[in-house]
Structure 1
Amino acid sequence: MRRALTTLAASVSAVGMVLVGAAPGTAFGAEVPAATAALAGTVGTPLNAFTDQSGLVTVSVFTHRGTPARQHWNNETITIPDPDMIAIGGGGTATNQGAGALLTASYPNADLSGWVVSSKDHVNKAPHELVTYAIGLKVAGMTRAELAASVYVGSASNYGPHPEAEAGIPSASYVLVGGGFKIDWSGAGNLATASFPSSASSWKARSKDQGASSPATLHTYAIGLRRSLPVGAVSTVIAAAAGSQAAHPTATAVLPQGYVLTGGGADVHWNRAGNLLWKLEPTRTSTQYFIAASKDHGHSDPSTIDVYAVGIRLM
């Protein structure tokens, strides 16, 4: 049964983040694959900027379109040009045109300077341009080094044809502000069906092979920010939206006023052959939202999708 989807903000200084609607890790950086630190990145172009109700927290969404079109995009890294910002979230958009191409990774790089996205076509050729996104975060009164030291990235991994993994953060000290995933696939390939906040302190991802046996290792990442920063206590919110059943379902979760977007995700409720994520996209406009979309592939499987937007503000 699908969860009821609503929105609620909670001051984490007292009661912690509350997720309505919709594995331990270590300190920042230790659980993100070390290889990502060395990946060459492309500097993103800013799309917008938002400030929370305190006036101290600023986020911007940066984007890059990878060209020319190719069948597989592996570890496409978008970096943030603002020296005061860390990458706290992101996403990617492949395509649902023609045969379509699907997402296989969306996660932070090792030093929080950017976001890493991968995609691939599957069985049928579908060269595509991959649009990548990174959400930059800065806090007035804190240096980038201080802010990065206030982030915790936990991880968990699992292997199989339909792997699922759930990563957590230490909820006594940190609040959940986002998450991501990476699929280490070979052969035919294994494709994402979910990457979303599964509780107040955990992030879950799922993936599956499609039409041909292809087990893979799925890595899931949960991103946390200290509950108490030198400039104030952090309050968080998760907005959720449900997409109607369709061959290519989509939904948009919109943040309430006063918060700034730090992450987002989606959970596809597929039934038979499978329905796969091709879009995880933070806001491109002056409204703060997170949009996600999925598609059946090769075989009909109308499905539903739940989409989440994660935001913070200082109290």
Structure 2
Amino acid sequence: MSYNSLLISAVLLAGSTYVHAATAVYSDVDGSGRIHMRVWKYTLNSTSSNHTAKLTVPGDWVAVGGGVDLKISRSVLITASYPDTATQQSWIVSTQADKSTSDHELTAYAIGIKIEGISRGDIRKHNIIKSWCGNGEAKNASAGNASSITIPNIGYLMISGGAKSAPKAGHKFGPVYSSAPKGWDQWTAASKKLKDSNNHPLTSCVVGIRKDLANAQLGHNLGSIDTLHRMSAVNKLASSRIESEVFMENDYILTGIGAKLTASKKKEVEPNVLLYSLAPKKFGKSAKVVAKAKEYLYPAGAFLSSYAIGIKLIEQ
């Protein structure tokens, strides 16, 4: 398969699955010249109020991150963005529109990486890159339907994460207002508590990479991984919508993107402002993360932060 294309499966509530070709948006390489990153995207038109899109990267790449972009003119919000833990080859996003605007367009993104000197087979065999998701038992906290996951193996560094809804009978999808890192090894997620129904349980997911790529047991002697976490300034809602962006430094490749909304600058409080876009973008010779949010149902204030995680190889 060409590096410039991938497969995207759009799964609608009616059960139909469509497969399309998507194209690469941009590529990058870390300062060592050995870790490569590529971003793909595809735009889908949905006739359903609920829509899930799965982007599968080419076989010699590993999917580590992704996002989704929606048009602000539609009453559509993000309900999930997370890794396929079974294959490490896909990123999955879900959206939901209200009944009056069920037709909507979404642009889904996948971030993939590959490492020169380590085959995709060895990455899989030795779990050099691995992802985990929680068990679906989210806490219905005061800050919405919230969950968190800490990277379970101390031999790994967190490079990305996501928010996943676990379908449950009699429940509905809640729009996500937070999916972001908390510290160096934990990813948190939260969704809006619905007034007329219980939310599907929300779980957090985390993606990690082995710290040491000079391990003789793996048969490689490349060096060690260094991560960089960047957070934007906290932006306050000044009109009916709010936007935030954060830039990745040169020599690091972007692997993880996140955003967090809160009604209070001092503590995490469920907002009445929700995300409609969280996406990776090219910026000069590097990349940036752009997060966008809008008021939900009625005017309200909120604070928005965006997050970027990058990696580079420190050669042996």
Give the structure, 1 or 2, with the largest relative contact order (CA under 8 Å, sep 6 or more). Answer: 1
Out of 56-65 and 183-192, give the one that drifted further.
Answer: 183-192
Residues 218 and 288 of structure 1: is their aligned pair in 2 closer, same or farther, counting only changes over 3 Å? Answer: same
Determine whether 1:238 maps to 2:229.
yes
Residues 250 and 112 of structure 1: is their aligned pair in 2 closer, same or farther, counting only changes over 3 Å? Answer: same
Determine whether 1:256 maps to 2:249.
yes
- Relative to the length of structure 1, the TM-score reads 0.80
CA distance in structure 2 between the partners assigned to 1:296 and 1:212 by the alignment: 19
Paired residues of 2:45 and 2:103 also in contact (CA < 8 A): no
Paired residues of 1:44 and 1:80 also in contact (CA < 8 A): no
Paired residues of 2:79 and 2:176 also in contact (CA < 8 A): yes
Matches for 1:1-315 after TM superposition, within 5 Å: 42-74=20-52, 76-81=53-58, 83-98=59-74, 100-109=75-84, 110-122=86-98, 124-148=100-124, 149-156=127-134, 157-159=136-138, 162-170=144-152, 172-184=154-166, 187=171, 189-229=173-213, 230=220, 231-246=222-237, 247-270=240-263, 274-284=272-282, 286=284, 287-315=286-314
Structure 2 portions without partners, runs of 5+: 1-16, 214-219, 264-268
SS of corresponding position for 2:198 = coil
1:123, distance to aligned residue in structure 2 (A): 5.7
Residues 77 and 58 of structure 1: is their aligned pair in 2 closer, same or farther, counting only changes over 3 Å? Answer: same
SS of corresponding position for 2:43 = strand
Paired residues of 2:280 and 2:288 also in contact (CA < 8 A): yes
SS of corresponding position for 1:44 = strand
SS of corresponding position for 1:66 = strand
Paired residues of 1:193 and 1:268 also in contact (CA < 8 A): yes
SS of corresponding position for 1:249 = strand
Residues 301 and 177 of structure 1: is their aligned pair in 2 closer, same or farther, counting only changes over 3 Å? Answer: same
CA distance in structure 1 between the partners assigned to 2:18 and 2:149 by the alignment: 26
Q: How many correspondences in the alignment?
A: 274
Out of 227-236 and 271-280, give the one that drifted further.
Answer: 271-280
Q: Which has the greater radius of gyration?
A: 2
CA distance in structure 2 between the partners assigned to 1:273 and 1:241 by the alignment: 19
Letter in 2 for 1:142: I
- Relative to the length of structure 2, the TM-score reads 0.80
Structure 1 portions without partners, runs of 5+: 1-38
Residues 298 and 80 of structure 1: is their aligned pair in 2 closer, same or farther, counting only changes over 3 Å? Answer: same
CA distance in structure 1 between the partners assigned to 2:245 and 2:271 by the alignment: 24
1:251-270 superposed Cα distances (whole Å, 9 cap, x missing partner): 11101111000011011013
Residues 187 and 313 of structure 1: is their aligned pair in 2 closer, same or farther, counting only changes over 3 Å? Answer: same
SS of corresponding position for 1:145 = helix
Letter in 2 for 1:61: V
Paired residues of 1:42 and 1:78 also in contact (CA < 8 A): no
1:264-295 superposed Cα distances (whole Å, 9 cap, x missing partner): 10110136762211111011454411111122
Residues 42 and 220 of structure 1: is their aligned pair in 2 closer, same or farther, counting only changes over 3 Å? Answer: farther
SS of corresponding position for 1:59 = strand
Residues 123 and 303 of structure 1: is their aligned pair in 2 closer, same or farther, counting only changes over 3 Å? Answer: farther
Paired residues of 1:272 and 1:301 also in contact (CA < 8 A): no
Letter in 1 for 2:250: Q
SS of corresponding position for 2:31 = coil
